[in-house]
Amino acid sequence: MGGVRLKPNKLIGEIKQTDIVLVGSIGAPYCDFDLCTQETLDWLQMMEEKNVLIVSVCTGSFVLAKANLLNNRKATTHWLFTKLFKDMFPQVQLHSEIKVTSDNNIFCTSGTYEYNDVMMHIIEQIYGQNTRETCSQLIFGNMEGLPSHTLASFVPYRQHSDTLIHKLQDWMHSAPSDRLSVGNLADKIHLCERQMKRRFKTATGQTPIQYIQQIRLSLAKCRLEKSNKTIEEISHEVGYEDTRYFRELFKKLNGLTPIEYRRKYQHR
C-alpha cells in the first residue's frame, strides 16, 4: 500500500466470529492471486458456514470464488477480468454488467466506487427498506421534485448525463403502477424501442423492465413495513394485478416472500 505498513490487531486464525467480512480488491488477479493463502480460504469458508455477511470489492470476488463460496451463485467482478473469471470459475453465475450482486449472505461489487450501493444493500438486508431509505436520504440527499420515499435508494442509477433517460426515469417514478410496455416507455421520450433500451441500459446499468420492477418492489416493501394492507392490496397498488406473479417476483428479487419480509421488518 504505497509503502505504508499495516499492523492488524489479530491474526486471521484468531478471529472466530465477526459481523461482516470485507474482501478488498486484489489488483490484477493473474499477478497477485497466489498471495491468497489456504488458511485465508479456509477461514472464509468457516465464516460463510456461520452465515456471516461477506462482501467482495472489485477483483476480491476471485478470492471468494477460489474459496468455493460462489459456486452456483450470482456474482460480479471488474469488467476487465470477465473472461478470466469465466475461464477460471465456470460454475459461478457471473454478471459483470451488474454493479452489485446479492445472493443470500454474499455481496459482490464490480468496482471500488460501488461502496455506497453495497452499503445501502447491507443496511436493507439487516434493518429493512425503511431504514435504508432514511440512511440514503441522510447520506445522498433527495432529488428535487421527486418523492423521497421512492427515490432515495435510486440515487446510484441517476449518476449519468443522459437527459432523455432522466426524463424517462422521472416519469417512471411518478407513475410506477401504470400499465407499462417497452413500446410506451420508448414513446414517452420519442425514441424507437431499440434505441431506448440501449440508452437506458448504458445510463443506468439496468433494463427498463428491471428498473420499473425495482421501483414497484421498493414501494411494496415500504407498504409491507408501514401498513397492515393485504398482500393482494399492495400488489394491485404497485402495479401488479396478478398477485401470484407479484409474490414470485418479490421472492426472486428479495429472497423472502412478502409475508416473510413483513414479519422480519414491520415496525422495526
Annotate 193-229 with three-state secondary structure. HHHHHHHHHHHHCCCHHHHHHHHHHHHHHHHHHHCCC
Contact predicate 85/57, CB 8 Å: no
In the chain, which segments carry CATH 1.10.10.60? 145-268
Q: How far is CA 235 from the centre of its chain?
A: 22
Superfamily of domain 12-120: Class I glutamine amidotransferase (GATase) domain (3.40.50.880)
In the chain, which segments carry CATH 3.40.50.880? 12-120
pLDDT number for residue 254: 84
Tell me the average pLDDT across 77-102. 89
Closest CA to 24 of 39, 46, 40: 40
> Is pLDDT of 102 > 60?
yes
Residue type for 41, please? Answer: L
CB-based contacts of 184, cutoff 8 Å, min separation 6: none
| pLDDT cut 90: percent of the chain above it | 41
- Identify the CATH number of the domain defined by range 145-268: 1.10.10.60
Question: What confidence tens digit (pLDDT) does each residue in 29-71 have?
Answer: 776 666 678 899 999 999 999 999 999 999 999 999 999 999 9
Residue type for 226, please? Answer: K
> Is pLDDT of 141 > 60?
no
pLDDT number for residue 144: 38
pLDDT number for residue 201: 92
